[in-house]
Amino acid sequence: MKFNLNLSMAVIASAMVAVSACGGSGNSESASSESTAAAPPPAPIEISLEEKYKDDPVYIKGSELMGQNDCPSCHMLERKIVGPSYADVAAKYETTDENVELLAGKIIAGGVGTWGEIPMPAHPTLSEEDAKSLAQFVLLLKK
């Protein structure tokens, strides 16, 4: 039988690679814990604002009022259409009694300039109580 030096070296090199890839110790527990520790953490599951707040009484009441008025014509929960998304408004204003009053007033009186040149129509027939409920709903929607 003829001895092939190149083939023998290739076999030895392959064996060394295989041993080093397995950790060389034969201890499969340490090899698996090392690979587990190196794995990146799973990405956080992002849920929609609707899913996040669906059981909140402020959300439930606000959603009903939004549906009874023309709000969805210009606003969405998380995406700008004609006016800003509710989430964008919530991000701009802290949730305080003063801001609930301010936003309720803007809902009733309408306005222009805060979010661009497209005016928000007035809602003079909306009660102050309903306007405050709408403002509380919007301010709830923080991401």
- Whether 57 shows a pLDDT value over 60: the answer reads yes
User: Do 59 and 51 touch, CB atoms closer than 8 A?
Assistant: no
Residue ranges of the annotated binding site for heme c are 71, 75, 120
Type of residue numbered 19: V
Residue ranges of the annotated binding site are 71, 75, 120
Tokens 């210009």 label which residue? 74
Q: Is the pTM of this model over 0.85?
A: no
Residue range 61-84, pLDDT digits in tens: 999 999 999 999 999 999 999 999
What gap in Å lies between CA 41 and CA 143, rounded to an integer? Answer: 21
Residue range 4-38, pLDDT digits in tens: 545 455 555 555 555 455 554 545 454 455 555 67
Buried b (16+ CB within 10 A) or exposed e, 83-109: bbbbbbbbeebeeeeebbeebbebbbe
> What are the structural domains of the chain?
5-35 (no CATH), 49-140 (1.10.760.10)
Integer-rounded Cα radius of gyration of the chain: 31
